[in-house]
Amino acid sequence: MHHAIRTLFSDEGEKTMRRMTGAEIRQSFLDFFAGKGHLIVPSASLVPVGDPTLLLTNAGMNQFKNIFLGLEEPRSRRVADVQKCMRVSGHLNDLEAVGPSPYHHTFFEMLGNWSFGDYYKKEAIAWAWELVTDWWGMEKERLWATVFRDDEGDLPTDDEAYGYWLSETDIPRQQVLHFGRRDNFWAMGPTGPCGPCSELHYDRGPDYCDKKGVPGHVCRVNGDCTRFLEIWNLVFIQYNRDSDGILHDLPARHVDTGLGLERLATLSQGVEANYDSDLFTPILHRIRELRGHSQAEMRQNRVPYRVIADHGRAVTFLVGDGVIPGNEGRNYVLRMILRRAARFGRKIGFTEPFLGEVAQVVIDHYGDHYQELRRRREFILNVIRQEEERFQRTLDVGLALLDTVMDDLQKRGETVIPGTDAFRLYDTYGFPLDLTRDVGAERGFTVDEPGFAAALEEQRARGRASQQFALPDGEEIGLYLRLLEELKAQGRIGPEGVEHPYDETTELETVVLAIVRNGERVNRAREGDEVEVVLAATPFYVESGGQVSDTGILARYEGEEETPRWEIEVLDMARPVPGLIVHRGKVKRGQPRVEDPVWALVDVARRMDIARNHTATHLLHSELRYILGEHVQQAGSLVAPDRLRFDFTHGAMLTQEQLDAVEQSVNDAILANYPLEMEQTTYQQAVSAGAIALFGEKYGEQVRVIKIGWPEEPFSQELCGGTHVQQTGDIGLFRILSETSVGAGVRRIEAVTGRAAQQLVQKRLGVLDAAAVHLGSPPEEVDRAVLRLMAQLHEQQKVIADLRRELARLESEALLRKVQQVAGVQVVAARTRAADMDTLREMTDWLRDRLGSVVIVLGTVINDKPNFVAAVTPDLVERGLKAGSLIKQVARVVGGGGGGRPTLAEAGGRDPGRLDEALALVPRLVHDWLREEQS
Ligand SMILES: [Zn+2]
Ligand SMILES: [Zn+2]
């Protein structure tokens, strides 16, 4: 389909759809729903939090999944948002549609309004109509609505929605159509929440049909042509499907809607493709500027331009949400699309990294709404630049490898590059398939693409995290879900779940609510049992934000008794479903019972060790940013009792000076004994006050900020739910153990604090003292004493080497007297005292030079192993005697083997006791050979 770009809409005043920029559409959508009592929430990160079944956020409802499942209470019953989404299934075909297709994107924005058990079909339909017609001025005659009627005849027709389209809007009756399951029924997964949906479609007019004249094409809504565009999907969640496929009415019914911003902008601006809307034109313009292309040149290269614009936008948002290029999961997705963009850049003539420039314009254009892009500008640009440079380097290696593959094929007269090779290039060198295809085509090769797809699928099957929603399944989760619901229903725990004052106390008295053994609920456990215990309240910290779980004891005491009636050692903690906290451990004594009163006692010394490491991690983070720069971002963290591990973004290895400076300033902060302050506030307030929010953490409306420093000017502010010391002096001492690389642009520091640091220092000083005693020098001078010793050692090694050489020469001279004559051929076969192979070789050379025509085999024992060198002068080689075959037979005697050239060969063996026997064989072997030669 090709049209000249033109405006779709007439100029007749009120019938004309309002022309709006992408930003205006976003804002008017949010304003409209704020006016209808909706809470406006920010977009969730592209990295889904707490949902291992999902690679990247791919729909507006992702962040509300737990609410729909009844696991989480909503902050408000009416919510509206604009959600960042990524859809990259890993199927190459999907990615290859980006560019040629005017509507296909990797990254896109979803506008949505949500009702969690609040308003329902009537309001959702009325408001959707009001927004698109009154606010946005869409012509009513161009709008079509669809409602559900089951094509399989099982589910009830959505007469309710149909009725509201007619009663609540003035849409012409003939423009409300019924469709079946494929188009108008939505489900979260094979089981779980589901329901009918109602869609709004926009008719762009018959000119826009791209299937005109295609046999069988019926030009209508859902006719799969480009004339009718679906603009808004209203999902009415009213059922819960159980594992037998039976639908049950939900007690609370929800509304979930989705409206694609790109499509709306395209319609509103009266342009043909999404890329012609202002969501993309600034990016395309910048690419054109960088290349110095004319408009016409840009049009000729439409696909590369679109790919770079789409991928450049996606890459910027992904890195902005903390994704770093890598070889697994979402990191791989980022690497793949970044390299694909770089590759398309080469196609239009970029020879230097340019994606950083593209990211700049994305940040400028989107940064007003998505402020994280502004905040992380430097980080985003660094990561993109580094990855692009890296790709340029592997590109050359990969191209060389591809050449070798093609050379081999050419020799065999083949012209198809095997799928496995194409996949190896793709997998190891980040070569997109089309690059291999292009380069191959230049030399007349094609690629076995089915073979490539098979290899790719195989890998995907191995490593893919499903893109589909899955309910938390498995017996165990089901068990805990039921348990949670039951405890809530009985009022044994509050709506928020198990009470969890982990930061206020390390011991409390409570009651046992449930015991699970071998995946089953039991009323009582016995000594030795491994159990999971649910209490009404617990002070135990549950692993989160890198801080490991607490360990400790659950015990029941009776009256004044010293020893508990029963005792469980807690080894680990878990939160199998939100709201439920489980203690995992072993019954040490007695018989714990449900409903027993119990003391929950955290191992306090261990908790303190952990707290020291956690606070030190915040100090380390802050000092790294101070010393290395603001581009330093936390990329991972482990806070354990014995050490801390901190991964952060930084392009180069730290120098010793930088490491010393970091360690010094962390210790300065410890000595200054700054107070710590915890503040409950809102996410927005915390971040605008400069608090660091970490990537990949899910923050609710209320967040906790840990501030370190004097209250009026804290130098460290982090959103954090972990446990900390009261003032920095509690940490005691901080020592860095190591600094290493853990991937492109990410460094790792491991360190110890408190008791572990003290032990480290004590141990190291002990070693130093012992060394000083051995060296007979004061500890402060150990290094100089060692240097002195090393110099002496070096001198002495030289003397020894000289002596050995002299010895070898004397020994060689003595060997001259041991030359045997075997049928007129000179033979030397002797044991020497050579201490290494070099000496043995030198002796062999020396003898050969002196004797002219000769067969030499010298042996020696090095490190308890027999070794040989054999030499045969060229005149004898010509007669057929080869050093290699000679030495093989000799070495066989000592249980070894060897080989080499005809003139010089070496061998080793296992049995030093048979060295002489082996050497004695030499004259006979020469003799036998001469006899053979004569015969
Ligand atoms: Zn059509
Ligand atoms: Zn923290």
Residue 94 Cα to ligand 1 middle (Å): 23
The confidence score (pLDDT) of residue 769 equals 93
Residue 545 Cα to ligand 2 middle (Å): 7
Residue 442 Cα to ligand 2 middle (Å): 54
Which ligand approaches the C-alpha of residue 697 most closely?
A: 2
Quick count: other Cβ atoms within 10 Å of Cβ 73? 13
Residue 242 Cα to ligand 2 middle (Å): 40
The confidence score (pLDDT) of residue 542 equals 93
Residue 204 Cα to ligand 1 middle (Å): 10
Answer yes or no: is pLDDT of 575 > 70.
yes
> Model-level pTM greater than 0.85?
no
Question: What is the end-to-end Cα distance of the chain in Å, rounded?
Answer: 90
User: Tell me, what amino acid is at 546?
Assistant: G
Model confidence pLDDT, tens digit, residues 792-848: 999 999 999 888 888 888 998 999 988 999 988 999 999 999 888 988 999 999 999
Tell me, what DSSP letter sits at residue 13? Answer: G
User: Tell me, what amino acid is at 483?
Assistant: L
Residue 136 Cα to ligand 1 middle (Å): 25
Which ligand approaches the C-alpha of residue 214 most closely?
A: 1
Residue 300 Cα to ligand 1 middle (Å): 27
Residue 202 Cα to ligand 1 middle (Å): 13
Model confidence pLDDT, tens digit, residues 759-792: 999 999 999 999 999 999 998 999 899 999 999 9
What is the overall mean pLDDT for the chain?
88
Model confidence pLDDT, tens digit, residues 617-655: 999 999 999 999 888 888 888 999 999 999 998 888 899
The confidence score (pLDDT) of residue 820 equals 92
Residue 659 Cα to ligand 2 middle (Å): 22
Question: What is the Rg, in whole angstroms, of the alpha carbon atoms belonging to the chain?
Answer: 38
The confidence score (pLDDT) of residue 14 equals 42
- Assess contact for 682 and 702: CB atoms under 8 A: yes
Pairing of strands 552-556, 520-522: unpaired
Residue 172 Cα to ligand 1 middle (Å): 21
Among the residue ranges 88-92, 552-556, 641-645, the one predicted with the least confidence is 88-92
Residue 18 Cα to ligand 1 middle (Å): 25
Answer yes or no: is pLDDT of 724 > 90.
yes
Nearest to 318 by CA among 379, 248, 264: 379
Among the residue ranges 361-370, 485-494, 599-608, the one predicted with the least confidence is 485-494
Residue 731 Cα to ligand 2 middle (Å): 15
Residue 616 Cα to ligand 2 middle (Å): 9
Output b/e per residue, 306-321; b: 16+ Cβ within 10 A.
bbbbbbbbbbbbbbbb
Residue 583 Cα to ligand 2 middle (Å): 23
CA separation for the pair 210, 214 (Å, rounded): 9
Residue 778 Cα to ligand 1 middle (Å): 92
Answer yes or no: is pLDDT of 663 > 70.
yes
Q: Which residues pair with 85 in a beta bridge?
A: 108
Residue 719 Cα to ligand 2 middle (Å): 7
Answer yes or no: is pLDDT of 318 > 50.
yes
The confidence score (pLDDT) of residue 382 equals 87
Residue 19 Cα to ligand 1 middle (Å): 25
Residue 144 Cα to ligand 1 middle (Å): 15
Mean pLDDT of 140-163: 93
CA separation for the pair 572, 570 (Å, rounded): 6
The confidence score (pLDDT) of residue 467 equals 33
Residue 268: CB partners within 8 Å, gap ≥ 6?
Answer: 17, 18, 19, 20, 25, 136
Residue 86 Cα to ligand 1 middle (Å): 28
Residue 212 Cα to ligand 1 middle (Å): 6
Question: If pLDDT is split at 50, 70 and 90, which confidence band does 401 have?
Answer: confident
Nearest to 471 by CA among 462, 480, 458, 463: 480
Residue 855 Cα to ligand 1 middle (Å): 92
Ion ligand 1 nearby residues (CB, 5 A): 209, 211, 219, 225, 227
Residue 261 Cα to ligand 1 middle (Å): 23
Among the residue ranges 139-153, 230-244, 477-491, 832-846, the one predicted with the least confidence is 477-491
Residue 723 Cα to ligand 2 middle (Å): 8
Residue 19 Cα to ligand 2 middle (Å): 46
Residue 222 Cα to ligand 1 middle (Å): 9
